[in-house]
Structure 1
Amino acid sequence: MENPKISALLIVFNEEKNIEEALKSVEFADEIIVLDSFSTDKTVDIIKNKYPNIKLYQNKFEDFTKQRNLCISYAKNDWILFLDADERITPELKNEILKEIKKPVTRKAYFFKRKFFFMGEKVNYSGTQNDKNIRLFKKEVAHYDENKRVHEGLSNLDNPGTLQNYLLHFSFDSYEAYYKKVIHYSKLKAKDLHEKGIPYQLIKQLSKSAFSFFKMYILKLGILDGKKGLTLSYLSALSSFKTYEFLKEKYS
């Protein structure tokens, strides 16, 4: 029986700092596909000059769901391995992936547990202790929910499995980079809320922002992460606040 084959997929924009390490960590895949959103840095040049066997496509970014679904459409193999450019597959996780998909009976999708790094330092709490995302799945269930522009998820899953080895997530190397992502995600979330007819309410903006901070800093033990936990909790609150600020603009 022929071994199952994997298509490793990445959607990227201006990832010149991350792209090489990310690609190296998925070299075991049978094909690697990168969908670029017309990067303005050296991302595309690096791929073309150093990784000629990689299938490179470009498409203007609208939202994460559309980019992921388009990238999936280019894949030819039965298994999809999705990786963000700031994530790394460890050798241990690689071996577990290859072993798992060769089993006679498998799940249709698998969660990867993640170890989170912020500005080069490991974060142990702040909600990251339970962080996991579906990164490996069969192409037959490979469709992201089009009702979500951010925090996108597969739309037709039943009882996914969880792999035991960790995916490394080197989230941001600076506060400014994280802040920029918060603003970008907040605009997309505001668009989702507006299209669902959800009105802007000041009390909801303030209460959700306050609870976001409390949830991460206290309930999810961000306080134990010291300054990193305080910063991440603030940015979580800011994300909620900015989402409703952008929603208010849509109704003005």
Structure 2
Amino acid sequence: MSISVLIMTLNEEVNLPACLASLSWSDDIVILDSFSTDRTVEIARAAGARVYQRAYDTEDRQRMHGLTEIEFKYPWVYTPDADEVTPPDLRDEMLAIARDPSRPEAFFKARYKNMFMGRWIRRSSLYPTWITRLVRPDRVRFERSVHSRCIGDGPTGELKSHFVHYSFNKGLEAWYDKHNRYSSVEADLSSSRRLERKIDWASLLSTKSDLRRRGLKALSYRLPFRPTLRFLYMYLLRGGFLDGRPGYLYCRLLAAYEFMIVVKTEEQRQRLGDLPGEYSSCETYDRVGQHQ
């Protein structure tokens, strides 16, 4: 029993060859492309992948379209991004799960090694961060328009192995373009008061990294000087300084992203007629560096 693969793409000719090469063990690779204008589709078809195209609207809708509207050869579907490489140990672990029909899990999360300036920035990227990567399409749904969250009909599993994330392969300009879009969505959600704002104090002490991150996210709503605090938290408290110069620069990039969200949130709220006040915080993204 093997595993199907679903990759969502938009102009990924730089990243896709390495991603597909690390997936050569699968005989059912599907590309859901958002009408790329580069060689993405050509590269995918040359590698034997099935290619479907759909105009991109939101992350959760695009992913759910791929999982529900496309027929896969196998019950389990692996969902890497195009800038990710799948090492052999992760492949073997997933295949072992697929061969065991008694597994009760609806989906599995995996940790990643985030690469920046030629090295794994372990401390600067909030390691370990768990991302949904292996799913049973008939038992999951995704929600949230950016940094989508998986909800499953059944237990959640955690993979022991890592995938490798090359989020800067297309250069800083592409990173800024993507996070400019992300910050606009985050600001819109925050200014419209559609994000959860209740602080779960117990989660701050949880042994689960994703629960701690949600607690910190809710707490950050009440904090002033959020971009500065974000940098200090990542660089000093989380030990980003131990990642050397790449760690310093990466923490600065994350602080810049936070600042974009804060300013855009203020702009949105004034447009909506709210009383002017201090800059308010909005949701900390679930995967710092997720596909950053």
User: Do they fold alike, i.e. is TM over 0.5?
Assistant: yes
Q: Is the 8 Å Cα contact of residues 10 and 34 (structure 2) preserved in structure 1?
A: yes
* SS across alignment from 2:142: coil
Q: CA deviation at 1:175?
A: 3.0
Residue number in structure 2 paired with 1:143 = 141
Q: Per the alignment, do residues 175 and 206 of structure 1 end up closer, same or farther by CA in structure 2, a change over 3 Å counting?
A: farther
Alignment map for 1:173-252 (pairs within 5 Å) = 173=169, 174-196=171-193, 206-251=224-269, 252=271
Q: CA deviation at 1:122?
A: 2.0
The partner residue of 1:39 within 33, 36, 41 is: 36
Residue number in structure 1 paired with 2:200 = none
Q: Structure 2 stretches of 5 or more lacking a match?
A: 196-220, 272-292
TM-score (norm 1): 0.86
Which one-letter code corresponds to 1:140 in the other structure?
D
Q: Is the 8 Å Cα contact of residues 149 and 189 (structure 1) preserved in structure 2?
A: no
Alignment map for 1:94-113 (pairs within 5 Å) = 94-106=91-103, 107-113=105-111
Superposed CA offset, 1:171-206 (max 9, x none): 2133333222221211121222234357xxxx9685
Q: Does 1:162 pair with 2:158?
A: yes
TM-score (norm 2): 0.75
- Distance in 1 (CA, whole Å) between partners of 2:265 and 2:179 is 15
Which one-letter code corresponds to 2:106 in the other structure?
K
Q: Which segment drifts farther, 133-142 or 206-215? A: 206-215
Q: Per the alignment, do residues 168 and 157 of structure 1 end up closer, same or farther by CA in structure 2, a change over 3 Å counting?
A: farther
Residue number in structure 2 paired with 1:81 = 78
Which one-letter code corresponds to 1:109 in the other structure?
F
Which one-letter code corresponds to 1:216 in the other structure?
M
Q: Which segment drifts farther, 176-185 or 227-236? A: 176-185
Which one-letter code corresponds to 1:219 in the other structure?
L
- Distance in 1 (CA, whole Å) between partners of 2:71 and 2:15 is 22
Q: Per the alignment, do residues 195 and 32 of structure 1 end up closer, same or farther by CA in structure 2, a change over 3 Å counting?
A: farther
Q: Per the alignment, do residues 164 and 237 of structure 1 end up closer, same or farther by CA in structure 2, a change over 3 Å counting?
A: same
- Distance in 1 (CA, whole Å) between partners of 2:126 and 2:267 is 32
- Distance in 1 (CA, whole Å) between partners of 2:139 and 2:122 is 32
Q: Does 1:67 pair with 2:62?
A: yes
Which one-letter code corresponds to 1:220 in the other structure?
R
- Distance in 1 (CA, whole Å) between partners of 2:147 and 2:154 is 18
Q: CA deviation at 1:45?
A: 2.4
* SS across alignment from 1:143: strand
Q: Per the alignment, do residues 15 and 105 of structure 1 end up closer, same or farther by CA in structure 2, a change over 3 Å counting?
A: same
Which one-letter code corresponds to 1:150 in the other structure?
V
Which one-letter code corresponds to 1:64 in the other structure?
E
* SS across alignment from 1:134: strand
Q: Is the 8 Å Cα contact of residues 179 and 235 (structure 1) preserved in structure 2?
A: no
Q: Is the 8 Å Cα contact of residues 118 and 228 (structure 1) preserved in structure 2?
A: yes
The partner residue of 2:119 within 118, 121, 145 is: 121
The partner residue of 1:28 within 22, 25, 32 is: 25
Q: Is the 8 Å Cα contact of residues 44 and 50 (structure 2) preserved in structure 1?
A: no
Which one-letter code corresponds to 1:39 in the other structure?
S
Q: CA deviation at 1:40?
A: 2.0
Determine what percentage of the aligned residue pairs are the same residue. 29
Root-mean-square deviation (Å): 2.2
Q: Per the alignment, do residues 104 and 66 of structure 1 end up closer, same or farther by CA in structure 2, a change over 3 Å counting?
A: closer
Q: Is the 8 Å Cα contact of residues 205 and 244 (structure 1) preserved in structure 2?
A: no
- Distance in 2 (CA, whole Å) between partners of 1:242 and 1:158 is 37
* SS across alignment from 2:25: coil
